[in-house]
Chains A and B, each alone.
Chain A
């Protein structure tokens, strides 16, 4: 191998190894992010605290409340004596919703025209939607049960009773709909992309900031040797990060790794290429490490929001969907989710692998063209 390149690599590795704080951050931040997002960024609805205003206090109302209690979604946290108390609890944020059962619930139920109010705090729309659906479902199943009971009382053989239509749901790949299985591939992508782009940009700009670039310029080092020498160490670190995050996802979060590991690593390599390219490109624009960080941040935020990391792209306005086509993370997330959860082969994801590769090569080429061995 080229001896100048070896010298640059050795120098970079010595510097990385001596900067213990940065090294620890590089290795620990992914784990922290994984745990934070794996646990906190969940849209699962659990234990939503409810305030209950039961004016009937009869067997029927208790049975209805029992149905809500039994489901994991809600917690009957407060028993209150007026509607106003529900309002106060929701305003204070102690309760996220309330159930109001009228005084004549049992008699109205017997007449077949009972009404129960379910109130939900809509200020958090995402859990609100799920909670609302859960509340409706629980109510409906309670209704079905009551119908069956009434039919039995009227002498019909209820065991023959079948609803005319039944929707049989089958959830593939992630049968329990664990949200962390949706989040973790996103975390993997974000970590790889953020670490490679930020570290590359700051490490190149540091040479300029400290004045060492001027000394490098007057050596016979070729620009490509400098580029490769600067980014290869970070590519290797990113590779270690990938394995680290995959291992923790798999053994701690029970994340399935169904696809071919070498294909996963190869595709991750393509994302790393994009991250390195973005970082290098930012370094050709920025004069200080701070500028470099901000420049990279400018690309990171759209990457996170327009990649389908948190929000499905299909639901976004057309314009944003178009923008998302130039975001490498978008392709990678589709790839990594498919590889980890569905275990597909390369054939199923060519449509994403190809644009990701094209982006990586293009940004790298653009950055290399801009990366000159001169001060002006």
Chain B
């Protein structure tokens, strides 16, 4: 199985800012790949490089086997791309928007209407097909975006923060759609029913979404600093996250930051998460027990917990290298 999305040492600078530095990707058909990173990490620039909206300073990318640098138009015939900003004409209706982007991407007059209706039904926007895009709710706008990206049955889907600013229920819907898409050959697939599925790369600032991806890449300052399945990434912090509950969060925090081996202290609702250096969990637990003796009636309850992707993300965002 050949990789659908390949990035080979992509590099892009804006003036003196290094936006994307030596980006390598290898994403297979049927895979949902999540690109995460804080604002300004280079996610959007990476996406734009992959679709050829920006020209890389060096390096190249291949989409479905075509070079972005040299075969840009063939690449564009393969992809569905949804940019971060709502990229539709607010004065056109849902159907008119999809029709326009379907036609300029090569669908004939006979093809576009049944395909549009099929897609609108798929994303549950059928009832709103004649509404002006500017009058859609945030969630419906995202669905329109997905519908428009899907209407040509692309082999590769690139979604730049598709769920940012969308409420949790709609995000849930959106993910159900996406999962159905990679598993339902009839809607998503470009080939002749070979069941290969499409490749999806999406960027997201939400860690719960990253956890749904088959593979996740962490970007920081334009560089990919970690990549792997969610479990692999979490494993890197196995045995390093302590959850602490007690009477007073501020008091616990004051003590915790001074304990040797504690790298990070963060409040998670009514408890604290401590990240400790590898192998330091036992000494830190002991130190906590000494600081808050049970006998004083002020004891804390501390235990090792499995790391979340958010813990991994914070740890990676703060790493010095």
Contacts and interface: CB of A to CB of B under 8 A. Distances in A.
Interface of A: 3-4, 7-8, 10-11, 14-15, 18-19, 210-212, 214-221, 374-376
Nearest to A212: B87
Interface stretch (B21-29, B99-107, B273-281): B99-107
B83 interface: yes
A12 to B, nearest CB: 10
A214 B85 contact: yes
B54 interface: yes
A11 B105 CA distance: 14
Contact of B53 (A8, A10, A210, A375): A375
Nearest to A17: B91
Contact of A218 (B53, B88, B90): B53
A214 B160 CA distance: 12
A134 B304 CA distance: 105
Interface string B174-218: 000000000000000000000000000000000000000000000
B14 to A, nearest CB: 8
Contacts of A375: 48, 53-54
Contacts of A374: 52-55
Interface in B129-184: 148
B103 A3 contact: yes
Contacts of B91: 14-15, 18-19
Given A7-B103, A375-B48, A376-B55, A215 B83 contact: yes
B92 interface: yes
A210 B14 CA distance: 22
B85 A211 contact: yes
Given A14-B92, A18-B91, A375-B48, A218 B86 contact: no
Interface string B49-89: 00111110000000000000000010011010101011111
A214 B105 contact: no
B96 interface: yes
6 contacts: A11-B92, A15-B89, A18-B91, A212-B87, A219-B101, A374-B53
Contact of B89 (A3, A11, A376): A11
B104 A8 contact: yes
A7 B98 CA distance: 12
A215 B55 contact: no
Interface string B95-120: 01001110111101100000000000
The 7 lowest CB-CB distance pairs between A and B, nearest first, are: A211-B85, A215-B87, A7-B103, A214-B83, A218-B81, A219-B104, A218-B51
B104 A217 contact: no
Contacts of B54: 374-376
B85 to A, nearest CB: 4
Contacts of A14: 91-92, 96
Contacts of B85: 210-211, 214
A371 to B, nearest CB: 15
B101 A15 contact: no
Given A219-B76, A220-B73, A376-B54, A210 B103 contact: no
A212 B89 contact: yes
Which of A211, A214, A220 is the most central at the interface, judged by chain B CB atoms within 10 Å of its CB? A214
Given A214-B87, A218-B53, A220-B104, 6 more contacts: A7-B100, A14-B91, A214-B53, A219-B76, A219-B101, A374-B55
Contact of A215 (B14, B101, B108): B101
Contacts of A7: 99-100, 103-104
A4 to B, nearest CB: 5
Contacts of B52: 217-218, 374
A374 B101 CA distance: 17
Contacts of B79: 218
A314 B245 CA distance: 90
Contacts of A221: 104
Given A221-B104, A375-B53, A215 B92 contact: no
Contacts of B77: 220
A224 to B, nearest CB: 14
Nearest to A16: B91
A218 to B, nearest CB: 5
A177 B73 CA distance: 61
B196 to A, nearest CB: 22
Contact of A211 (B83, B100, B105): B83
B90 A210 contact: yes
